[in-house]
């Protein structure tokens, strides 16, 4: 019983991002930035390779309230877009935005 409690406590302390389903690496085809709150929305020709409530995700987004390093992440996204590099996100679904929106909080840029 003590071990189950200890494991439960440790798992609750680990960020949920570690357990989130990442997107598939994709090349960004469109970037939208909403001026009112700074939300950045990213599109690709295909879905991002993950789903929210069974619906394929077609938009990854991040904003100033969900990403501490917002400016750095925006800079990386713009650089990847200009260089046609693939981008992979970790994060999670946000039911408030809809089932096809994925909140990206961690970013990896790669060749493939």
Could you tell me the residue range of the domain that residue 78 belongs to?
Answer: 20-110
Measure the CA angle with vertex 49, ends 86 and 72; round to 5°. 40
Q: What is the pLDDT of residues 41-66, one digit of tens each?
A: 999 999 898 887 777 888 999 998 88
Q: How many domains does the chain have?
A: 1
Give per-residue pLDDT as tens, 61-100. 999 888 899 999 999 999 999 999 999 999 988 766 766 8
Residue 52 near residue 99, CB atoms below 8 Å: yes
Domain assignment present for residue 4? The answer is no
For residue 55, being part of any structural domain is answered with yes
Q: Counting Cβ atoms within 10 Å, is residue 8 exposed (0-12), middle (13-18) or buried (19+)?
A: exposed
Q: Which residue has the tokens 């089932």?
A: 99
**What CATH number does the domain containing 63 carry?**
2.40.50.70
Asked whether residue 11 is assigned to any structural domain, the reply reads no
Query: Do residues 39 and 103 touch, judged by C-beta distance below 8 A?
Result: no
Q: Please report, in angstroms and rounded to a whole number, the separation of the first and last CA atoms in the chain.
A: 45
13 within some domain: no
């Amino acid at each position: 019983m003590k071990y189950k409690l200890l494991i439960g406590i440790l798992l609750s302390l680990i960020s949920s991002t570690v357990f989130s389903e990442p997107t598939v690496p994709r090349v960004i085809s469109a970037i939208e930035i909403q001026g009112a709150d700074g939300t950045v929305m990213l599109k690709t020709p295909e879905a991002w390779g993950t789903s929210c409530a069974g619906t394929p995700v077609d938009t990854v987004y991040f904003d100033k309230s969900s990403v501490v390093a917002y400016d750095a992440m925006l800079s990386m996204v713009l650089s990847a877009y200009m260089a046609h590099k693939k981008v992979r996100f970790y994060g999670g679904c946000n039911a408030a935005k809809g089932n096809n929106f994925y909140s990206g909080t961690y970013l990896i840029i790669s060749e493939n």
